[in-house]
Amino acid sequence: MDDQHILNSSFFYNITSTDVPQEDPEWTDGFVLFLKSTIMGSIIVASILGNLLVIVSVMRHRKLRIITNYYVISLALADMLVAMFAMTFNASVQIYGEWKFGYFMCDVWNSLDVYFSTSSILHLCCISVDRYYAIVKPLKYTLTMTKKVVALMILNTWISPAVISFLPIFKGWYTTRANQRYRNKHPDICEFIVNKPYAIISSSISFWIPCTIMIFMYLAIFREANRQEKEMYNRHGAALLLHQNNTNGDMLSNSGGSSKTLTHHEINQDLHHTPTKERNISKMKREHKAARTLGIIMGTFILCWLPFFLWYDTVYLCDSCQENCPPEVVAVVFWIGYFNSTLNPIIYAYFNRDFREAFKNTLQCAFCSLCKGPPSNLDYIDNRRPSIRYEDRTKSVYSETYLKHVDRRCSEFGSSL
């Protein structure tokens, strides 16, 4: 009975396996590989070009040359280097399924990955401190955040990450002895396996401590920004009410008292609309917009890197978790974190009008030669040739004026370097 059951089962399996069409595993693997390569390549190219656009735009646009944007340039450089050195090596592993660059370059890749990621979040931490002084303590800002202090802070964001990246990785302090022996026998495998002390120290310095500082800084910033905005709107409402009262007084006065009321009205206008006050209000609004944009950048950074550091600490602090973690999950959390380097320029362009205008001008000037095109017979006006139609003359004048305007803007921004 059992043999007959086995025979029937095998016969049923053979029929179903021949009747039901099976997918070609080679075609499926090729499609998945193509999809992975396209996504990773797009993230790398967009990150490099986007962050390069940020750097060039800030350097060319005089309006963007404020102290806060010094951090932005340095952050864009760190994000661009993440794409060039960390993402590319990771993409090669995902595409080829093995490490092709040897034992030494594996340490280089792991070191650069930790170094640039830590540098990015330290930049954001410095930006939060800068915004805190600019909004919460504006009177101390110019005295505290001088160019020398900013330069030292930026220098520190590039030097400090080396303590937890190059030194412990090249010395072998970051990993276990078993993994060291395994790496010596298998140089074609490059896995970043760390011990518990390094997992705690590196994740705390790279993510948890800076993020805690940033969260407290931005909570204070947004409370103060809301208070200042409410105070500004209250003053504006009081000024409008006083203006209406003075206007009514002017309409009711028909004799000598009108000149006195008018003088009082002019004084109030001067008090509430002086050029100095207008500049202060404009500066405060600009600081609030910058804080809002950088707050969105900080929140995006946390959302992108939080899954990675949760996985990182869970796997290496739990002995049984590492064996049960599929490699697909590791790849996904890595690339979600990498994707943050691509999002920052998009956030600048979407939420900050000054950056948006600078991006448009930079791209316009970059493709200015393409906009001009080859010279033609109708690119100028010749009064000696009345046979040229009015429409052609108008089109020529418009195109010539537009190109001169573009050249003038490009030369103005270029000369301001």
| Mean pLDDT of the region 299-312 | 89
Confidence of residue 78 (pLDDT cuts 50, 70, 90): very high
Does the reported pTM lie above 0.75?
no
Task: Kindly give, in sequence order, each residue whose CB lies less than 8 Å from that of residue 315, ignoring residues fewer than 6 positions away.
Answer: 321, 322, 325
Query: Would you place residue 384 in the very low, low, confident or very high pLDDT band (cuts 50, 70, 90)?
Result: very low
Whether the pLDDT of residue 169 is over 90: the answer is yes
Query: Are 191 and 178 a contacting pair, CB within 8 Å?
Result: no
DSSP string of 149-201? HHHHHHHHHHHGGGGTTHHHHHHT-SS-HHHHHHHHH-TT-------HHHHHH
Interval 214-227: pLDDT, tens: 888 888 888 887 78
User: pLDDT tens across 182-202, in order?
Assistant: 888 888 888 888 999 999 999
Q: What is the DSSP string of 244-300?
A: HHHHHHHHH--STHHHHHHHHHHHHHHHHS-HHHHHHHHHHHHHHHHHHHHHHHHHH
Tokens of 51: 């962050």
pLDDT grade, residue 292 (50/70/90)? confident
Tokens of 34: 């193509």
Separation CA 120–CA 91 (nearest Å) = 20
Question: Cα separation of 352 and 63, whole Å?
Answer: 12
Mean pLDDT of the chain: 75
- Between the two ends of the chain, the Cα-to-Cα distance in Å is 91
Q: Give the separation between CA 394 and CA 230, rounded to whole angstroms.
A: 51
Nearest to 311 by CA among 323, 300, 322, 298: 322
b/e per residue 62-89 (b: at least 16 CB within 10 A): eebeeebbbbbbbbbbbbbbbbbbbbeb
Tell me which residue of 303, 304, 306, 348 sits closest to 72, measured CA to CA: 348
| Burial degree of 258 (CB within 10 A; 0-12, 13-18, 19+) | middle
